[in-house]
Amino acid sequence: MAINTPMNRRKFAKTTLLATAATALAPGFFASCSKIPQPMKRSFGKLGFDVTTMGLGGQSSIQWTPEGIDPVKIILKAFDLGINYFDTSNLYGPSQGYYGQAFRIKNLIPGEENYKADLRKSIFLTTKTHLRFAKGNVDVEGVNNWTNGENGSHTVDDLKRSLSFMFGDAQGNYPEGAYVDMVLMHSVSTRQEVDALYEGLEDTNPEAERIGALAALRDYRDGTNRTGLNPKNEKLLRHIGFSGHWDPAVMMYMIQRDRSNLLDAMLVAINANDKLMFNMQYNVIPLAAAKNMGIIAMKVFADGAMYTKPAEWSGRPDHVVLTVGSKTLSSRKLIKYSLTTPGVHLAIIGIGQISEEEEKCQLTDNLLASQVEAEGMSLQERESIEQMAAKVKEGKTNYFQTTAIPLTAPDQVSVSRSLEGDSQNITLAWNTAFAGDAPLKMYEIWRDDNKVYETAFTPQLTTDPFTWMETLDDNAAHTYKVKVVDGKDRVAESVGVKVEGRI
């Protein structure tokens, strides 16, 4: 990988004066969402879609429904307010079924009378699968392959299950013309899972005993049958992505394995306590942004742990947060923090309840808060919100995220030499360092305790290492180190690697 690969930066559309004014409202004062005729949108990476800065999450009351809450009404209200990104999953119990009910009310079922094809095209519908294999034995160490209440089935089963629940009869059947905009391979947490997902992708053989999810999803995106798993050459999805909230290093490996740019988007946990953990904002998010992926924020409220829910995995209706923020921590500030994290395009937010009284309605309040431009918060404001969030549950809200690590040295540093006449060509190679609580700033090359080169940090786009070469007109031995410098001018250096002198 070339060391001078530039990182692509995104320029997002500026807010309207109205939206800018709305985000500046003092806490406790609510401007009606009726005063925002069209929610703000951002260009969604390379997907060719302008997406609202807030998307509707498929969990919370749409999955674990408290008594007296109607999940379908939440979905319909999101439609009516102009939200155009909708999230669900095969792991979310009844969630896809509730979307199916709402889609029938909105006339979004292909083949039925009054089907509104233009309305269907105007929204972006994402579902997820936790099934890592599309074919073969799924019992592999380090690989969690499961769907709701079932282990051992395959990726295409989840894809068709989604279509059946949202557009069909919920019995496995779906109408011609039904599709989802994207399938995310959900909660990728180990390198073994990444390897499983990629199995059979580069050299697809329909006779292979085992095939990973990616090869099958590609077939159902392109209408091809390279895997032998799409005999009807159906096109049932338009984009492929993945999600993660545990280990940014694993998520980076997932992106680096993608040599054909198959991955269009990433759903990532990002909130104001991110830097207290092995953080996403300085590690995997810059890599995804450099590859122009759509980036979706989740866990904006730490899965509700910033408020009334314990810092543990949700699983019951009483875990659903029904309040709008709190007196000590504004939900609007947390939303703005995630949406102004460089690279993020939108945030999906689960809704506990809606109300006709807008000041009490989570959906309208969250939508108003998300009317913020990408660079709409200063570093000082972000740090202030981090300080407030760190006081919640002693900063231990992000139970879903790997423990914090300090700045790490460049990894797997190696050196090689070739001789040419009286000269020696030295090639140094290394893999990326990982950031602690500050972004990475530069790499430095040191020879025999002297700095001989420096370059601005850029993300490592593939599994190919960074390389640097110099030619020396001597026969001496030399020792090289690669150092990384972060935004707080801290330094981490590799062990020395030695080139022996010419005999």
Q: Kindly report the CATH number assigned to the domain that includes residue 484.
A: 2.60.40.10
Residue 196 belongs to some domain of the structure: yes
Q: For residue 384, give both structure tokens.
A: 């202030």
Q: For residue 258, give both structure tokens.
A: 């993608």
**Which pLDDT band, with edges at 50, 70 and 90, does 146 fall under?**
confident
For residues 167 and 301, state if they share a domain.
Answer: yes
Could you tell me the pTM of the whole model? 0.91
Residue 16 belongs to some domain of the structure: no
Whether the per-residue pLDDT at 24 is higher than 50: the answer is no
- The DSSP symbol for 316 reads S
In angstroms, the CA 419 to CA 32 distance is 73
For residues 321 and 420, state if they share a domain.
Answer: no
- The DSSP symbol for 14 reads P
Residue 433 phi/psi, 5-degree rounding, is: -80, 165
- The DSSP symbol for 403 reads B
For residues 161 and 252, state if they share a domain.
Answer: yes
What pLDDT is recorded for position 501?
76
The CA distances from residue 289 to 45, 222, 283, 284, 300, in Å, are 8, 24, 11, 9, 19
Share of the chain above pLDDT 90, in %: 82
Whether the per-residue pLDDT at 7 is higher than 80: the answer is no
Residue 29's CB is within 10 A of a number of other CB atoms, namely 7
Chain mean position to CA 35: 31
> What is the number of domains present in the chain?
2
What pLDDT is recorded for position 479?
96
For residues 330 and 464, state if they share a domain.
Answer: no
Over residues 444-471, the mean pLDDT reads: 97
For residues 259 and 192, state if they share a domain.
Answer: yes
The angle subtended at Cα 443 by Cα 425 and Cα 265, nearest 5°, is: 110
Query: For residue range 245-254, what is the model confidence (pLDDT) as tens digits?
Result: 999 999 999 9
**Residue 48 φ/ψ region, left for φ over 0, alpha for ψ in the -120 to 50 degree band, beta for the rest:** left
For residues 87 and 178, state if they share a domain.
Answer: yes
Residue 434 belongs to some domain of the structure: yes
For residues 379 and 288, state if they share a domain.
Answer: yes
For residues 417 and 386, state if they share a domain.
Answer: no
Over residues 17-23, the mean pLDDT reads: 34
**What's the chain's Rg over C-alpha atoms?**
24
Residue 377 belongs to some domain of the structure: yes
Q: Which of 22-31, 107-116, 133-142, 402-411 has the lowest mean pLDDT?
A: 22-31
Q: Which residue has the higher pLDDT, 37 or 370?
A: 370
The domain boundary residue, chosen from 364, 395, 426? 395
**Which pLDDT band, with edges at 50, 70 and 90, does 149 fall under?**
low
Residue 220, domain CATH: 3.20.20.100
Over residues 220-230, the mean pLDDT reads: 98
Whether the per-residue pLDDT at 17 is higher than 50: the answer is no
Residue 402 belongs to some domain of the structure: no
Whether the per-residue pLDDT at 4 is higher than 90: the answer is no
Over residues 65-90, the mean pLDDT reads: 96
In angstroms, the CA 26 to CA 76 distance is 29
For residues 329 and 429, state if they share a domain.
Answer: no
Whether the per-residue pLDDT at 152 is higher than 80: the answer is no
Residue 125 belongs to some domain of the structure: yes
Query: CB–CB of 472/389 below 8 Å?
Result: no
For residues 425 and 357, state if they share a domain.
Answer: no
Across the chain, mean pLDDT equals 90
- The identity of residue 194, as a single letter, is V
- The identity of residue 481, as a single letter, is K
Q: Which of 134-143, 174-183, 389-398, 428-437 has the lowest mean pLDDT?
A: 134-143
Residue 9 belongs to some domain of the structure: no
Domain of residue 383, residue span: 32-395
191: exposed, middle or buried (C-beta count within 10 Å: 0-12, 13-18, 19+)?
middle
The CA distances from residue 6 to 194, 376, 407, 455, in Å, are 26, 24, 22, 11
**Which pLDDT band, with edges at 50, 70 and 90, does 315 fall under?**
confident
For residues 84 and 164, state if they share a domain.
Answer: yes
What pLDDT is recorded for position 137?
87
In angstroms, the CA 156 to CA 451 distance is 53
Residue 74 belongs to some domain of the structure: yes
What pLDDT is recorded for position 139?
85
Whether the per-residue pLDDT at 333 is higher than 50: the answer is yes
For residues 294 and 178, state if they share a domain.
Answer: yes
Strand duo 423-431 + 124-129: pairing: unpaired
In angstroms, the CA 277 to CA 374 distance is 23
